[in-house]
Structure 1
Amino acid sequence: MVNRSSVGLGMDGPSIRPRPTRVTAAERPKAALASPLIVWAILVAGLYFGREIFIPIAIALLLSFVLGPLVNYLRRWRLPRLVAVGLTVLMTLGIVGALGTLIGIQVADLVGDVPRYRATIERKLDSLRDSPAGRMTDYVANIGRAIHNAGNADTQPKPAAAPPPPAAKGEPPSERKPMLVEMTATPPSPLETASTLLSPIMQPLATLGIVFVVLLFVLMQREDLRDRLVRLAGSRDLHRTTVAMDDAAKRLSRYFVAQLALNTAFGVVIGAGLYLIGVPNPVLCGIVSALMRFVPYLGAFLSALLPMLLAAAIEPGWNMTIATAILFLILEPITGQVIEPMLYGQSTGLSPTAVLVSALFWTWLWGPVGLLLSTPLTACLVVLGRHADHLEFLDVLFGDRPALTPVQNFYQRILAGDSEEVLGHAELILQHCSLSSYYEDVVLKALELAARDAARGVLTPAQKSAMRGTLSELIDDLADRADGPVGGAHRDKDPADVCEAEGACSPLPVHPIPGDLPEGWTREGAVLCISGRGFLDAAAVAILAQILAKRGIGARTVPFSETASARLSRLDPGAAQIACVVSIAHGGEPQHLNRLIARLRQRMPAVPVLAGLWLTGQEERRPTFTLDADITARSLHEAVEAVLAAAEADATVAPRPRTEAPAPAALAPEVVGQGA
């Protein structure tokens, strides 16, 4: 006996589908989940235990993005690659050595002035203790100290006095005199002295040497490394992979060069400002400020600490400290909120959460150096995720682009039945594209997703009802919105560029309203918009009627229930010029539409029928199914174009004098003369 649940119908008759084995159904998901976790655990462990090697390599790779344009510039002067790379590395090594020497001189000068700074700080602390706030602080501290001492006195027993040591028998007690011992240190040998002096700087020098050796080889073997990355990323489509890698390298180079130049300029301006204010060691403060700007979020605060402390230590008053704080409060917002977006767009292309999480992760992994490298390293991972299919999850996790597309976002919100969120989503997208393009590229595509889920049987009746109600409210709320071209801040830009940048929708052509529409097409009911039997067809019909009304054409919606055989005789065609049957179908051929078209022709034989069948997931089957209609349209755009073409053809064949009839009620006055 064969189980019915395991029988399927094939081309040659019934066929028995194999039952899923226990390995396929249970063990494979666990293995698929455990395998990436094991790989990532091994990678993290390797980065942690091998940080002495990986930190110099990471610094060298980031420097290669910065120095790559300089090498290319020198190559344009007909210099050999070895000479160009050598000059670039030597120049970089000279700059790093000069900065290190300058920092050492400034730190030595700062250490020599510490006693003078200490006296000033002690006087300021004494003055603070004499103030009301200082006295209140001392009072609270004394209360806490008294409570702590009282608790210790109650809980700890008093130690007993130790008895004196017993004297020897027959000898009187006598006091033992202390013995003086002099310790003389052996003078260190020259080798020990050199080791003591050089040991603190041996590790930084070794790291610096590894960085420049790796940098030299990376710049020399740049094309070879690119080819190997292309092979790893995917060699099946070499053109696409090569273009992606080159684009990623150029983007990262521009970003790192711009960031380095901006942070350097910030440090120079801060150093000059501190010099004018009178803060000591302004060069050191400028270098620290430039380096701290690589640290996300906390960098600006940390860079202001050192100059403010120095200002407070050198001056008895507080004027210099306040002036230093004002300098940072003015320059940091201007740099971060005005200059950075002008130079390289939206900063790093990372989400704020990703910047914070990456800073914590790399700091835990590599310490303070990881904090400085966290944002550049994560930016590299995001760029790789945008161009490599296998690493796309990195862009999803850390990128600043929305996790869901506008279509998916809209479907998720109508699925929840939240009409306010749906309207807010529409208002946001309609700032960048017209109403008709929003309906075409967002709403109707989201309805296709809903039709797929309905065909799979995963939507409950309550969810379908919530979708219908939410869509009806949205269409009613957008009834008064003009369907014109993109305006506002993007008026002078290409709509395609705006929509691509904003991640919204692609614009549809804007067609003007025909100037000589026949009077019959402007009356209410000139176009009968009849819905199919699907639960989303009524919303599609309402959208079509609204877009037609904004072009001056009178449209009337007719539900599917009014076209049944028993009730079709009650349908009054009135002044109908064309009947539009619209359906959003998925899975199977909608034979009911042909039956509906046949009934309409019996009822209105003189009215042409337009069938708007917007199939989902059936692209390969469209040629096999034909509709018995005068005109067919596969999208909202085609349906509107067909109706406008029919109206213009009617005006050409039978011209009528234009009347001064008022515009339809659904058409706003400012919409006249505009199109979709």
Structure 2
Amino acid sequence: MRGIKTTHVRHIFQGLAALIIIITGIKLGSTLVIPLLLSALLALLANPVVDLLARFRVPRIVGILFTLTAFVIFALLFLGNVASTVQEFTAALPGYREQLTESFSRTQAFLTQKNIRIDLKTFMDSFDPSALVSLLTNMIGKLGSTMSFALLILIAAIFMLLEAPLLPGKLRLALSSPDHELQSMRRFLHSFNRYVALKTLISMITGLLVGTMLWAKGVNFYVLWGLVAFLFNFIPNVGSIVAAIPGILLTLLQFGYGDAMLVLAGYLAINVFIGNIIEPNVMGQGLGLSPLVVFLSLIFWGWLLGPVGMILSVPLTMFIKIMMESSRQWRNMAILLGPDDSAEQHQQKNS
């Protein structure tokens, strides 16, 4: 009995050691891992379109080249628009800093009259308006450095798409229980495609609502803040909060505290409507992840892979959870990653 316990403990420590080695390897090799992950993401996104074109008897290689070319053109136009708008905003920052200094000086004088002692001057001296877009520009910069591997990403995606029809047959020969594990792979692909499609649609609606609200209020660079809301909505939990900060501060600079509070209320209304009403009803329990796991996965993958890891945190965690569910050894651990009703469903299956 003691020997069995010793063996079990030894296996646990061996598994932890292997996990630490894998995480360290991914962290050290992130410059290569990130392009490969982006290649897999691009292949997963393009494969349904390529399969659809194949139904109309379009040769697979032609469908792959057409789909990837269209994606590259769209990405270049989108990133070019974002970069030009960020450049215009950066050029206007010195003027906004002067406006912010005057606004803080008036606020300081008003608080002094009310015998409220708050040193806003120290805060203003340490405040850098360029921080409004630092997170966005950092993300664009990281993606831009990753795009130096653009040729590698495209070539790897082409080979992945060419290999996709042959993969099920190879897995049937290589796996010990192919039907069960192929079913898990199909579950992941279905969940991934559903998540990306619905998340993109919801993010577009969020960006349009934010941009329209700021346009109606007359806030400068409303297109940029709509794009920020669209992009950051892919980052779970904290993305929409970070995306609201620059629009609210710019409204404060242009129109004052009253209008800034009005825009803040508008952001809250949009995020509550989208995040608590539309998104749960549309996406349901399709993720199969608890809110705590989503938040922790955001922190972990962001630390491991940077901005790309933050965007891919949900799909990567979904993949790990589904692979755990297909393993007898890790099936119980997968329950901890699931939503509240996953444990009840597991008990019902076992009863």
Shorter-chain TM-score: what band? 0.7 to 0.9
Structure 1 residues 322 and 200, CA, compared in 2 at 3 Å: closer, same or farther? closer
User: Which residue matches 1:377?
Assistant: 316
Within 2, Cα distance between the matches of 1:396 and 1:369? 26
Structure 1 residues 246 and 119, CA, compared in 2 at 3 Å: closer, same or farther? same
In 2, are the aligned partners of 1:60 and 1:211 still within 8 Å (CA)? yes
1:221 partner amino acid: E
The unaligned stretches of length 5 or more in structure 1 are 1-19, 143-198, 409-502, 507-676
Structure 1 residues 377 and 230, CA, compared in 2 at 3 Å: closer, same or farther? farther
Structure 1 or 2: larger helix share? 2
Secondary structure of 1:222's aligned partner? helix
In 1, are the aligned partners of 2:50 and 2:63 still within 8 Å (CA)? yes
The residue correspondences of 1:402-421 to structure 2 (distance < 5 A) are 402=341, 404-405=343-344
The residue correspondences of 1:459-478 to structure 2 (distance < 5 A) are none
Larger relative contact order (Cα-Cα within 8 Å, sequence gap ≥ 6) = 2
In 2, are the aligned partners of 1:230 and 1:245 still within 8 Å (CA)? no
Structure 1 residues 259 and 133, CA, compared in 2 at 3 Å: closer, same or farther? farther
| 1:345 aligns to 2:324 (yes or no) | no
Secondary structure of 1:286's aligned partner? helix
User: Which residue matches 1:398?
Assistant: 337
CA RMSD of aligned residues (A): 3.0
In 1, are the aligned partners of 2:104 and 2:121 still within 8 Å (CA)? no
The residue correspondences of 1:260-659 to structure 2 (distance < 5 A) are 260-315=200-255, 317-346=256-285, 348-389=287-328, 391-393=330-332, 395-402=334-341, 404-405=343-344
Within 1, Cα distance between the matches of 2:67 and 2:345? 46
| 1:59 aligns to 2:38 (yes or no) | yes
Secondary structure of 1:28's aligned partner? helix
User: Which residue matches 2:110?
Assistant: 131
Structure 1 or 2: larger strand share? 1
Structure 1 residues 360 and 77, CA, compared in 2 at 3 Å: closer, same or farther? same
1:507-535 alpha-carbon deviations (Å, 9 max, x no partner):
xxxxxxxxxxxxxxxxxxxxxxxxxxxxx
User: Which residue matches 2:179?
Assistant: 239
The aligned length equals 332
Within 1, Cα distance between the matches of 2:342 and 2:274? 29
| 1:371 positional shift | 2.0
1:212 partner amino acid: L
2:179 partner amino acid: H
Structure 1 residues 240 and 204, CA, compared in 2 at 3 Å: closer, same or farther? closer
| 1:343 positional shift | 2.3
Within 2, Cα distance between the matches of 1:210 and 1:380? 24
In 2, are the aligned partners of 1:65 and 1:256 still within 8 Å (CA)? no
User: Which residue matches 1:156?
Assistant: none
User: Which residue matches 2:88?
Assistant: 109
1:216 partner amino acid: I
Kindly, what percent of the aligned residue pairs are identical? 23
Structure 1 residues 133 and 217, CA, compared in 2 at 3 Å: closer, same or farther? farther
Structure 1 residues 329 and 405, CA, compared in 2 at 3 Å: closer, same or farther? closer
User: Which residue matches 2:74?
Assistant: 95
Alignment match of 1:43 (pick from 12, 16, 22): 22
TM-score by length of 1: 0.45
TM-score by length of 2: 0.83
| 1:344 positional shift | 2.1
| 1:139 positional shift | 7.1
Within 2, Cα distance between the matches of 1:139 and 1:333? 34
Secondary structure of 2:227's aligned partner? helix
Greater Rg over alpha carbons, structure: 1
Structure 1 residues 294 and 255, CA, compared in 2 at 3 Å: closer, same or farther? same
Within 2, Cα distance between the matches of 1:332 and 1:121? 27
1:155-199 alpha-carbon deviations (Å, 9 max, x no partner):
xxxxxxxxxxxxxxxxxxxxxxxxxxxxxxxxxxxxxxxxxxxx9
Within 2, Cα distance between the matches of 1:394 and 1:44? 19
Structure 1 residues 248 and 390, CA, compared in 2 at 3 Å: closer, same or farther? farther
User: Which residue matches 2:164?
Assistant: 222
In 2, are the aligned partners of 1:277 and 1:323 still within 8 Å (CA)? no
1:404-440 alpha-carbon deviations (Å, 9 max, x no partner):
44796xxxxxxxxxxxxxxxxxxxxxxxxxxxxxxxx
User: Which residue matches 2:55?
Assistant: 76
Within 1, Cα distance between the matches of 2:206 and 2:120? 43
